[in-house]
Chain A
Amino acid sequence: MKNTLRQVLHSGKFMVGFVILLTILLVVLVYPLIIKDSPLGIIGQGTFFPPGIYVSTYDSLNAPKQYTLLLTDAAAKRIANKMSNDDRLAMKEWLVADGVPASEIDVTKTASLLDLWEKNYDPKKNIPGMIFAKVRYYQRVNTSVQGLLSTEGAIIASKNAQTGALEQASTINQSDYVNLSQVANVRVLPLGTDNFGRDVLTELIRATGVSLEIGLVAGIVATLIGLSLGLLSGYVGGMVDDVIMFFTNLFTVIPSIVLLILISFSIGQDQRGAFTIAVVIGFTSWVWTARAVRAQVVSLRNRDHVNLSKLSGHSIVHIIIYDILPYIASYVVMALILQISSAILIEAGLSILGLGPRTTEVPTLGLMMNWAMIYQAEILGKWWAYFPVLIVIALITFSMNLMNTGLDQVFNPALRD
């Protein structure tokens, strides 16, 4: 036993898989201890905020100390942020269409370009042949370049409590800075928010936990069923074997996805908790374990030590526990690992079809995927809402399968290179 364990620990594949899985598990367990936010709490008013650091504008203005930094490229950056090269070219296009000679327009000279723009642009002017989306584009450009070259600060005004009139409270100069650590409210959203305005990272970590739980429950259910049926079928034989194998073969050929769809649909959404889904998945994916266990048991059944045990008058239960199980234990562990990983995949698949667990009790990887797709994250380029989910799913199943392959090579020396 010790020896096997050492071999297992020396298997590179197993260890890589194990370390990945362990890391995921650790994150799932430790993260909620540090960040105590509710994984389903709606914090964003709006959908799919991109990943980044969110600094309270209000608190920045009211930060205890304002610093002045005289940076030479600040103005250029400010302009570039509001006016891209494409915008400049488009402005030129409008001016030319309006009758300004192209030779007079130099898109690289911001001041002269803006000057021409201000003189000539009229939002109400109709340029023949221009599509409406473009007309609105120019209106937006016009708004965004307003006052771009101003060197004045912004005035902060507040309402006088008595008169209701606006009174100047302070001025923010263009060279004013705040230190991030002095701003009262800064929120880091490493993976942005989702369509509900939830913090994706917090949700993802909780979802990973739930999906692992689903996988574990489904894996245990499937393995238990498969193991009992396989043992019964292989060891008892005869009629029992025939009947069990009949059903096993039956469920092998009927596509399990079809069964899952039919069953999940029949249960109805209000009954589909995460646990229910896990059990359903378990009940539809035991066949492979049953087949494999039976094959092993059949080959063990007539070994000497089993026969000896029989002769000694041990009960069937005793023989199965002491003389058969230890020999197939490694196999059962491997089967369990595979069941867990496939259950996680199946949950995700069912959720994509809209047949996953009840939506808002807990997040699962599949549900996150499903909602991201309902709100079209994949085609609108909101990668943070679905790609990390895919990666986590792939990492979990990958690590488990690596572990499995590693174990396989340890237990089947013939497979070693």
Chain B
Amino acid sequence: MKGYRAYFLNKLLWLLVTFVFAFLLNFTLPRLMPGDPVAAIVSRLAQGMSNSTGMKEVYEHYAALFGTNKPILDQFFLYVVNVLHGNFGESFSQFPRPVADIIKSSILWTIGLQFPAIIVGWIIGNALGAIAAYLKGGFDKVLLPVSIFISNLPAFGMAIILLVMFGVDLKWFPTSGGYGFDLIPNFSWNFIWSVIVHYQLPFWSIVLIAIGGQAIGMRSMSIYELNADYIKYSRFMGINDRKIIGYVFRNAMLPQVTGLALSIGTMVGGALFAEIIFSYPGLGYTLYNGILGQDYPLISGATLIITMMVLIANFAIELLYGVIDPRIKAAQAD
């Protein structure tokens, strides 16, 4: 168990260091933006205001409130305190609503959409890749280019195609939102059904993109393993086919798990587009609103949360990997 604990601590330390760095980036980058963020919200308040001195009062009031008139170091500590309190400060575009409140209402939608989609995409992709490698022939000849083609459609492109085909033209699925336009959220069958129906298009647009890339990877790994000497030897020894395939896929799988850990960031990035195209009430949509509204506390908050989600997912996968990888198991035995 000692080996695993060392592995665990190592990964945990890594998680924390990465987080601190991401946090710093997250604080710094939006503050490099030209222009005055406070002026943006003041201007919104001021539409229809016809008194210049009144404007100036309002401006100074908000500058003080947001602390943008303070030195950058003070602002940083203010931000740290805010994050530690879990409220990320106040949103500009939805002032005085705290950013944390906005994120809280969207994060569940995102987790509920993206992680199942990525996992399902990963599983289907790997299964297809493995089958293609094993069956070869026609299936493989079709699957590979199709996979490449699909995984090369831009993420938003897949979403738009699904939207136009199944939402606008065929009208099988609703085109926007997380649940029916005429419903009030509630724990009832009606509502849940509506959520399920609205879930389909964004879900499949993420899954389809994920399948292609995974299938290509798994196919390569499987072919590589199938051609490996130990397989030839096993066949020669007359070990039954099913058992051999078991070995092959297990070995081919391991790099795919690592691959998932490494590419989950990219996948989440792509999935954000699905949310935006389908107006799905998740983080991607929140982020998009933040960008449109020049709301940098919200952009900071949303990107930080997305980064954290990816880091945690990554961490979880690596822990899992530590359990299933024989080499790390071997280290535990020492």
| Residue ranges of A at the interface with B (Cβ–Cβ < 8 Å) | 13, 249-250, 252-259, 261-263, 265-266, 268, 271, 341, 345, 348-349, 352-355, 369, 373, 378-379, 381, 386, 390, 393-394, 397-398, 401-402, 405, 408, 412, 414-415, 417
Closest partner residue, chain B, to A373 (CB atom) = B160
Whether B164 sits at the interface, judged by CB under 8 Å, is yes
* 6 other A-B residue contacts (CB within 8 Å) besides A258-B269, A261-B291, A261-B303: A259-B29, A262-B29, A271-B34, A355-B291, A394-B157, A397-B154
With contacts A265-B30, A378-B163 taken as known, whether A255 is within 8 angstroms of B156 at the C-beta atoms is no
With contacts A250-B18, A266-B33, A415-B224 taken as known, whether A256 is within 8 angstroms of B161 at the C-beta atoms is no
| Bound Cα distance A299, B270 (Å) | 33
In contact, A253 and B157 (Cβ under 8 angstroms): no
| 6 A–B contacts, CB within 8 A, in A order | A266-B29, A394-B157, A401-B151, A402-B145, A414-B224, A417-B223
| Bound Cα distance A349, B271 (Å) | 11
B306: A residues at CB distance < 8 A: 255, 258
| Interface secondary structure of A, over-half rule | helix
In contact, A265 and B160 (Cβ under 8 angstroms): no
B270: A residues at CB distance < 8 A: 257
> Interface residues of B, CB < 8 Å — how many?
59
| Residue ranges of B at the interface with A (Cβ–Cβ < 8 Å) | 14, 17-18, 21-22, 25-26, 29-35, 136, 140, 144-145, 148-149, 151-157, 160-161, 163-164, 168, 175, 216, 220, 223-224, 227, 262, 265-266, 268-270, 272-273, 276, 287-288, 291-292, 296, 299, 303, 306-307, 310-311, 314
Can you list the 5 inter-chain pairs with the closest CB atoms, starting with the nearest? A257-B269, A255-B265, A397-B152, A262-B29, A266-B32
In the assembled complex, how far is the CB of residue A161 from the closest CB belonging to chain B, in whole angstroms?
53
With contacts A253-B311, A349-B155 taken as known, whether A414 is within 8 angstroms of B160 at the C-beta atoms is no
| Interface secondary structure of B, over-half rule | helix
In the assembled complex, how far is the CB of residue B233 from the closest CB belonging to chain A, in whole angstroms?
16
In contact, B153 and A390 (Cβ under 8 angstroms): yes
With contacts A345-B154, A354-B291, A390-B154 taken as known, whether A255 is within 8 angstroms of B268 at the C-beta atoms is yes
Closest partner residue, chain B, to A355 (CB atom) = B291
With contacts A250-B21, A265-B30, A348-B154 taken as known, whether A255 is within 8 angstroms of B291 at the C-beta atoms is no
In contact, B156 and A352 (Cβ under 8 angstroms): yes
Closest partner residue, chain A, to B22 (CB atom) = A254
Closest partner residue, chain B, to A291 (CB atom) = B262
In contact, A417 and B265 (Cβ under 8 angstroms): no
In the assembled complex, how far is the CB of residue B254 from the closest CB belonging to chain A, in whole angstroms?
16
In contact, A417 and B157 (Cβ under 8 angstroms): no
B175: A residues at CB distance < 8 A: 379
Closest partner residue, chain A, to B155 (CB atom) = A349
A341: B residues at CB distance < 8 A: 152
**Most chain B CB inside 10 Å of its own CB: which residue of A262, A369, A393, A408:** A262
Q: B18's contact among A254, A261, A265, A402, by CB below 8 Å, is which?
A: A254
| Bound Cα distance A412, B224 (Å) | 9
With contacts A401-B152, A405-B148 taken as known, whether A261 is within 8 angstroms of B287 at the C-beta atoms is yes
